[in-house]
């Protein structure tokens, strides 16, 4: 099983037999000649076999979709893994690569992708290329004109009837030929693949699931919005069973790089900086395209009056929230830890079991429970104290409420770590101060507190970083409320992260580029604060060890 | 005579308060603060009417277990519970294992890029993964098209996503644990002919096992509570996790009516974590501090 010994100094030789005074063998040769054990070999074969199996499984869809770049990446990384675990070299990499692969695929790449969108105007109405925008403008302006061709329409999908992408199956009333149409255009279907009922309705088609009336009417909004471009204009639905081929009223004119409305004669000229067609009076067409916005997403935070004011107050509140939550939980947790840290104290175990319960409860559910405890109409807080406060309706009560909730959720953790740190402080230190005549308070101030702070500052910094982006704490309680009357996107308790989330996914239309820009801001702030903090702690020294 | 006695007794009581009594006062107040929301949730879970508006701090209108029954009848709670256990269990185990591997390399080996690697882990960790949720959504759209079994609405896709954040969270903590183990241990094992893998699996891992269990438990609780990404990822009722499913219970007009079954669900979710938590509490204190403090 073992590899041949390679002379004196080999790792398999018992240390006792070494010449006296010779340095212990710890060169790379030591590791290289360690014996290969049966379990090690079996584990290696099993894991590499599994890797190969996963790679083959993953390769087929890539081949089918003709994604050769993805396939090349897959082959290269699989080959790299095999090389790494079959060679005896690169020992550190053997331990680092598994986690790093996941880190790169699901964290680094999305983060870089996000950072790159921060320099674009990506978002609703600015998703695709200019050509996509022109097609969308032209086909959405299709209206029924006298003499438009009419077809029998059947709604179908290639996926699940409730969620799959919709297609139109249209039957030409003259020839009876059936075509399938989606937003890419119209294709003829082989008549052998479809079953057509009298009246032109398609009842079955190979590869498609036909929606029944109930399924179709529940998705009528999507059906109305589906436009199938055709050479002469576009196909739209008229109800659930008829479709017409209409003419596009608006058309793109390459000569003036503009869109012209044939009925009104109005023109919208392409603005390549804004990624939109703009009329002379400033009116924009909703369908634009994605362009590089340069730094505008970042400068907008500073210059745009509608954004910078709320942004600044959100930033200040964000800091106040993070400092308040971290500091508050630390102070409370430490106070209780100090109170329970006494040899004469009885029942500490019972107290501790009850105290840490909030930490063990599922926090998402407790956040929702707290939200309803602050309910203005029939919440517990108002009932219990006989108050009549609309907690989430006013800025300051809402802020007080979310910090109180954070205090409740967070202080058991601080209590636990402070207890641990207190137990690590040698008793001699505090005893020495009392011998010297210091009061308990003086000894706490001069000895215990500084030692606690040194020990816990790394945890305080990471707690700050966590609370700075504590999405759940706001989203599951106030969801940013109360909102000022003139600004529905930025409420009084919004953190930057919930504000960003609303920009990206809220009802006002997705502003993904701008949201990504704010994400980069948040990252910069947290990174700077943490870097400054860590520089002051021993944790940073450890890096250079 | 009697007045002197009283005086002495009063002074003794005063000293008792200054030394011990105030500690009990603080502890009792803290316990009250800790418990009253939990008591409220228990009371809501037992409230036979099951609405928020009829729930008091202590159940006054009788006690019943209707809400627990309603939870299983009207929602897919059992399914959500299993999904959460599966995803959080696997994610906790895998992320602890992956970061233990990396921490071993960072703690025991010296190689080019070690310092850069450690610092960039710290940096990447500061960029919360969910800020990139838009990019993740687009990327997983493609993955769903290619490999539906690891795409949206599957536990595996979400698991992969959680593993992306595994290295950043625990590696530093684990490296702290490994650093506290004396180097002589693995050096002597190496001299006795152990390979690096044997040193890791046979010597290092068993020594830090209790702390690994704590890190795993914390990762488990963190994953159970993760809401944002799971909410984007899992939309069909059968694939939801507890956080997503129970958030849905309180959405819209059902907020008042569903509060009872929501509270019952909260308690059922809490039972396993609270038990394990109390069981491991001793290790949690040392686990949280030894990694970070001595680090």
User: What's the CA gap between A289 and A33, in Å, rounded?
Assistant: 61
Res. A532 pLDDT band, cuts 50 70 90: confident
Q: Chain A closest CA to B4's CA: distance in Å? A: 27
Let me know if residue A266 belongs to a domain.
no
Burial of residue A7 (CB within 10 Å: 0-12, 13-18, 19+) is: exposed
Is residue A25 scored above 90 in pLDDT?
no
Q: Based on the fold, state whether residues A334 and A207 are members of the same structural domain.
A: no
| A333 belongs to a structural domain | yes
Q: Select from A206, A227, A248 the last residue of a domain.
A: A248
Last residue of a domain, one of A248, A283, A314: A248
Closest residue on chain A to B284 (Cα): A416
Residues A201 and A112 in one domain: no
Greatest mean pLDDT among A179-193, A247-261, A314-328, B232-246: A314-328
Please write the tens of the pLDDT for every residue from A187-217.
888 878 888 877 777 888 888 888 887 788 7
User: For residue A438, is pLDDT > 50?
Assistant: yes
Are B265 and A375 within 8 A, CB to CB? no
Quick one: A340 and A469 in the same domain? Answer: yes
Has residue A30 got a pLDDT over 50? no
| A173 shares a domain with A234 | yes
Residue B52 with chain A: CB contacts under 8 Å: 372, 375, 378-379
Q: Domain check: are A170 and A203 in the same one?
A: yes
Query: What pLDDT shows up at residue A31?
Result: 46
Q: Superfamily assignment of B70-294 in CATH?
A: MetI-like (1.10.3720.10)
From the list A107, A379, A515, which residue is nearest B164 (CB)? A107
Mean of the per-residue pLDDT values of chain B: 81
DSSP state letters, chain B: -HHHHHHHHHHHHHHHIIIIIHHHHHHHHHHHHHHHHHHHHHHHHH-TT--STT--SS--S----HHHHHHHHHS-HHHHHHHHHHHHHHHHHHHHHHHHHHHHHHHH---TTHHHHHHHHHHHHHS-GGGGHHHHHHHHHHHHHH-GGGSTT-HHHHHHHHHHTHHHHHHHHHHHHHHHS-HHHHHHHHHTT--HHHIIIIIIHHHHHHHHHHHHHHHHHHHHH--HHHHHH--SGGG--HHHHHHHHTSGGGGTTTHHHHHHHHHHHHHHHHHHHHHHHHHHHHHHHIIIII-
- Which pLDDT band holds residue A335 (cuts at 50, 70, 90)? very high
Q: Residue A456: its chain B contacts at CB < 8 A?
A: 293
CATH of the domain at A538: 1.10.3720.10
What share of chain A has pLDDT > 70, as a percent? 90
Does A74 share its domain with A103?
no
Closest CB to A114: pick one of B34, B135, B274.
B135
What pLDDT score does A10 carry? 37
Confidence tier at A261 by pLDDT (50, 70, 90)? confident
Nearest CB neighbour to A336, from listed B26, B191, B243: B26
A510 and A443 both lie in a single domain: yes
More confident residue, B178 or A23: B178
Residue A323: which domain range? 305-544
- Nearest CA-CA distance, residue A57 and chain B, Å: 9
Give the mean pLDDT of chain A: 80
Of A96, A356, A500, the CB nearest to B281: A356
Max CA separation in chain A (angstroms):
108
Taking the CA of residue B1 and the nearest CA in chain A, the distance in Å comes to 31
Please answer yes or no on whether A102 and B228 come within 8 Å at the CB atom: no
How far apart, in whole angstroms, are the C-alpha atoms of residue A61 and residue B143?
10
Geometric angle at alpha carbon B279, from B275 and B282, rounded to 5°:
140
ipTM score here? 0.83
Do residues A378 and A390 make contact, with C-beta atoms less than 8 angstroms apart? no
Q: Cβ–Cβ of A353/B269 closer than 8 Å? A: no
Render A136-181 in DSSP notation, one character per residue: HHHHHTEE--TT-EEEEEEEEESS-TTTSPEEEEEE-TTT--EEEE
Q: Could you tell me the residue ranges of all domains in chain B?
A: 2-64, 70-294
Partners of A529 on chain B (C-beta within 8 Å) are: none
Q: What total of structural domains would you count in chain A? A: 4
0.95 surpassed by pTM: no
Task: Give residue A19's pLDDT.
Answer: 41
Res B220 pLDDT > 50: yes
Which phi and psi angles does A262 have, rounded to 5°? -70, -25
Are A244 and A393 members of one domain? no
Answer yes or no: do B35 and A354 touch at CB < 8 A: yes
Contact A504 B224 (CB under 8 A): no
Assess whether pLDDT exceeds 60 at residue A278: yes
Tell me the pLDDT tens digit for each residue of A111-130.
888 888 888 888 777 777 78
Task: Based on the fold, state whether residues A177 and A40 are members of the same structural domain.
Answer: no
The reply to whether A321 and A368 lie within a common domain is: yes
With respect to residue A255, please indicate whether it lies within any of the assigned structural domains.
no
| Residue A281 near residue A267 (C-beta atoms within 8 A) | no
Contact (CB<8Å) B263/A419: no
One domain, residues A420 and A449: yes
pLDDT of A373 above 70: yes
Is A92 strand, coil or helix?
helix
Q: Which residue has the higher pLDDT, A399 or A232?
A: A399
Higher pLDDT, A361 or A504: A361
Interval A439-482: pLDDT, tens: 888 888 888 888 888 778 777 877 888 888 888 899 888 888 78
B106: left (phi over 0), alpha (psi -120 to 50) or beta: alpha
CA nearest to A322, candidates A471, A144, A467, A148: A467
Q: Are residues A334 and A186 in the same domain?
A: no
Neighboring chain B residues of A413 at a CB cutoff of 8 Å: 288
Contact A65 B145 (CB under 8 A): yes
DSSP structural state of residue A269: E
């Amino acid at each position: 099983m073992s590899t041949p010994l390679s002379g004196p100094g080999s790792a398999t030789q018992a240390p006792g037999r070494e010449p006296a005074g010779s340095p212990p063998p710890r060169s790379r040769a030591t590791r290289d000649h360690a014996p290969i054990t049966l379990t090690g070999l079996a584990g290696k074969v099993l894991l590499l076999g599994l890797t190969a199996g996963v790679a083959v499984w993953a390769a087929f869809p890539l081949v089918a979709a003709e994604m050769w770049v993805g396939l090349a990446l897959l082959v290269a990384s699989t080959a790299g893994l095999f090389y790494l675990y079959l060679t005896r070299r690169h020992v550190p990499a053997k331990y680092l690569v598994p986690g790093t692969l996941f880190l790169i695929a699901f964290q680094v790449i999305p983060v870089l992708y996000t950072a790159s969108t921060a320099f674009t105007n990506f978002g609703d109405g600015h998703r695709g290329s200019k050509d996509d925008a022109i097609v969308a403008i032209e086909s959405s302006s299709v209206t029924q004109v006298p003499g438009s061709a009419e077809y029998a329409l059947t709604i179908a999908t290639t996926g699940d009837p409730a969620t799959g992408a919709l297609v139109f199956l249209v039957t030409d009333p003259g020839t009876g030929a059936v075509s399938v149409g989606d937003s890419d255009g119209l294709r003829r279907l082989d008549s052998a693949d479809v079953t057509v009922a009298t009246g032109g309705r398609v009842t079955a088609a190979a590869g498609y699931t036909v929606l029944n009336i109930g399924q179709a009417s529940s998705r009528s909004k999507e059906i109305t919005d589906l436009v199938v471009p055709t050479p002469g204009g576009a196909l739209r639905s008229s109800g659930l069973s008829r479709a017409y081929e209409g003419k596009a009223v608006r058309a793109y004119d390459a000569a003036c790089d503009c869109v012209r409305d044939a009925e009104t004669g109005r023109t919208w000229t392409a603005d390549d900086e804004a990624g939109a067609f703009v009329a002379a009076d400033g009116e924009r067409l909703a369908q634009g395209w994605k362009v590089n916005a340069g730094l505008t997403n970042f400068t907008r935070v500073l210059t745009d009056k509608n954004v910078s004011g709320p942004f600044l107050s959100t930033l200040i509140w964000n800091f106040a929230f993070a400092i308040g939550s971290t500091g508050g939980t630390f102070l409370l947790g430490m106070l209780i830890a100090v109170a329970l840290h006494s040899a004469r104290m009885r029942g500490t175990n019972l107290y501790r079991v009850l105290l840490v319960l909030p930490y063990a409860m599922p926090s998402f559910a407790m956040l929702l429970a707290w939200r309803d405890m602050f309910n203005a109409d029939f919440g517990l807080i108002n009932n219990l104290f006989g108050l009549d406060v609309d907690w989430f309706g006013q800025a300051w009560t809402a802020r007080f409420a979310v910090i109180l909730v954070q205090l409740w959720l967070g202080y058991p953790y601080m209590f636990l770590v402070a207890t641990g740190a207190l137990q690590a402080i040698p008793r001699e230190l505090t005893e020495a101060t009392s011998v010297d005549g210091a009061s308990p308070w003086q000894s706490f101030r001069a000895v215990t507190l500084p030692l606690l702070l040194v020990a816990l500052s790394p945890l305080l910094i990471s707690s700050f970083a966590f609370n700075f982006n504590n999405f759940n704490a706001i989203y599951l309680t106030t969801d940013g409320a109360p909102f000022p009357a003139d600004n529905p996107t930025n409420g009084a308790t919004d953190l930057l992260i919930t504000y960003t989330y609303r920009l990206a996914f809220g009802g006002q239309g997705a502003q993904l580029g701008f949201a990504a820009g704010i994400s980069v801001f948040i990252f910069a702030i947290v990174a700077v604060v943490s870097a400054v903090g860590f520089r002051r702690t021993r944790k940073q020294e450890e890096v250079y060890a | 005579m009697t007045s002197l006695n009283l005086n002495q007794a009063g002074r003794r009581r005063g000293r008792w308060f200054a030394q011990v009594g105030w500690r009990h006062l603080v502890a009792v107040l803290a316990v009250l603060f800790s418990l009253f929301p939990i008591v409220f949730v228990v009371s809501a879970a037992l409230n036979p009417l099951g609405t928020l508006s009829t729930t008091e701090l202590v159940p006054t209108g009788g006690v019943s277990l209707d809400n627990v029954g309603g939870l299983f009848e009207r929602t897919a709670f059992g399914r959500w519970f299993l999904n959460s256990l599966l995803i959080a269990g696997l994610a906790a185990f895998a992320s602890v294992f992956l970061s233990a591997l990396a921490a071993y390399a960072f703690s025991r080996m010296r190689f080019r890029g070690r310092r850069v690697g450690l610092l960039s882990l710290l940096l990447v960790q500061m960029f919360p993964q969910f800020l990139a949720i838009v990019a993740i959504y687009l990327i997983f759209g493609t993955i769903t098209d290619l490999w539906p079994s690891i795409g949206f609405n599957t536990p595996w896709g979400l698991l992969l996503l959680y593993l992306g954040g595994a290295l950043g969270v625990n590696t530093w903590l684990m490296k702290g644990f490994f650093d506290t183990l004396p180097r002589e241990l693995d050096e002597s094992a190496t001299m006795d002919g152990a390979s690096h893998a044997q040193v890791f699996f046979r010597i290092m891992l068993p020594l830090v096992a209790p702390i690994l269990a704590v890190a795993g438990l914390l990762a488990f609780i963190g994953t159970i509570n993760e809401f944002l990404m799971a909410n984007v990822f899992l939309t069909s009722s059968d694939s939801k996790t507890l956080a997503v499913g129970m958030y849905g219970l309180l959405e819209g007009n059902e907020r008042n009516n569903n509060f009872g079954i929501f509270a019952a669900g909260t308690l059922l979710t809490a039972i396993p974590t609270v038990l394990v938590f109390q069981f491991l509490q001793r290790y949690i204190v040392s686990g949280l501090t030894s990694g970070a403090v001595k680090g």
